[in-house]
Structure 1
Amino acid sequence: MKIKILILILISISIVSSNANALFPSDFDYITANPTVVLGQNYPNPAKNKTVINVEFSSREASLKIYNVLGILVEEIIISKDKKSIILDVTEYKEGIYLYTLEADGQKITKRMTVKNK
């Protein structure tokens, strides 16, 4: 509890002192993603048997890669531009946490899903 309070106090002090009692938007570095690349959260999550992942991108094709918790590539799907939803069959996946990454238009977006097949 004392550590959390101390961290909060230090954060507050650094915010206030960053610009003599005021915090301005210029104090932050903004990271903006290309709005033409969208990776939706899979549903249902946790996944059982099948799950749906919605995607949007502007290039002719994209790659959806699924990794297990150890970072090993489990599956790769090449997606054409006209495809908006991927139905992923997870019946052969072991139960656990997986990361899926959409690579399109020079960007990578990663999300997490849980598989529970039992």
Structure 2
Amino acid sequence: MKRFLTIFCWLLLGVPLFAAAQEVRVLSENLDFRGKINQSQRKTVILHNESDQTQTYFLKNLRGNIGSSQDVKICIGDDCYDSKRDLAKVKIKLAPGEILTDMYLEFKMGIVETRGDFDLFFINENNIRESFVVQAKYEVSGPTVADEGFEHEAIKLTDVYPNPSNRIAQIDYTIKDRDVEARIAINSFIGNPVQSYKLDPDRGTLLINVSDFNPGVYFYTLFIDNKNIVTKKLVVKK
């Protein structure tokens, strides 16, 4: 019995010696994106193929809490893929012993102050039990500019006022380049579209009737020729 227990313990301790080693290791662990609303950041993902064989991995899924106004792109060299729409296109091929340094994550912060995390789960093309995970977290802080109005080469506008507002909110503006198309889009706190207003160069004032809005925090974004320029906060109260 004693001999049996000795052999059993030896086998138990010896199990890790026979376990398969991970083929690919993530050297850039816990990527941390920190920035302001509307910003984008790029972080490098470094991978090491520790095996003596060529390994090919594909992106199985993205797990975590990504908001509707946020965006994650995976770039390998000059090719970038949307993590939501191009899932099946993301493949990584690593030569024996190769350290990959030209893979990047581009993260668009979105229009809401928030924080969270997400994982990219990669599977070996020839052995689904072999995988690796790229982990990332993010923290999005307040609007991109101070509450003192905003000036662009094509337009100048004030902050919305009164803010908070319970009836009519107003933005005064001057369009300096009449060839551009400027508009203000309003989104809810979680990023859902609420209203969109085209700015008339001949008016100079936008009046927003918020009496039908639910009380809470909203964000208004200036678009010029459909390009997102700046986002600020609007508070509605009753």
1-structure distance, mates of 2:229, 2:203: 18
Counting only pairs closer than 5 Å after superposition, residues 87-102 of structure 1 correspond to structure 2 as 87-102=207-222
Q: CA deviation at 1:59?
A: 3.6
2-structure distance, mates of 1:97, 1:64: 16
3-state SS of the aligned residue for 2:196?
strand
1-structure distance, mates of 2:160, 2:152: 20
CA spacing shift, 1:103–1:38, aligned 2, 3 Å = same
Q: 2:236 aligns with which of 96, 99, 115?
A: 115
Question: What residue is the counterpart of 1:46 in the other structure?
Answer: 164
Specify which structure has the bigger relative contact order, considering alpha-carbon pairs within 8 angstroms and separated by 6 or more residues: 1
3-state SS of the aligned residue for 2:162?
strand
Counting only pairs closer than 5 Å after superposition, residues 67-106 of structure 1 correspond to structure 2 as 67-104=187-224, 106=227
Q: CA deviation at 1:38?
A: 2.4
CA spacing shift, 1:45–1:85, aligned 2, 3 Å = same
2-structure distance, mates of 1:115, 1:65: 16
Q: By percentage of residues, which structure has more helix?
A: 1
Deviates more, 1:101-110 or 1:43-52: 101-110
What TM-score do the two structures reach when normalised by structure 1?
0.63
* Cα pair 1:39 1:109 within 8 Å, conserved: no
Q: By percentage of residues, which structure has more strand?
A: 2
Q: CA deviation at 1:39?
A: 3.2
Q: CA deviation at 1:83?
A: 2.4
Deviates more, 1:35-44 or 1:94-103: 35-44
Between structure 1 and structure 2, the one with the greater Rg is 2
Q: What letter is aligned with 2:182?
A: A
Superposed CA RMSD: 1.9
Question: What residue is the counterpart of 1:34 in the other structure?
Answer: 152
* Cα pair 1:56 1:84 within 8 Å, conserved: yes
> After the TM superposition, which parts of structure 1 deviate over 6 Å for at least 4 consecutive aligned residues?
none
Identity %: 27
Where do 5+ consecutive residues of structure 1 fail to align?
Answer: 1-32
What TM-score do the two structures reach when normalised by structure 2?
0.33
1-structure distance, mates of 2:152, 2:168: 29
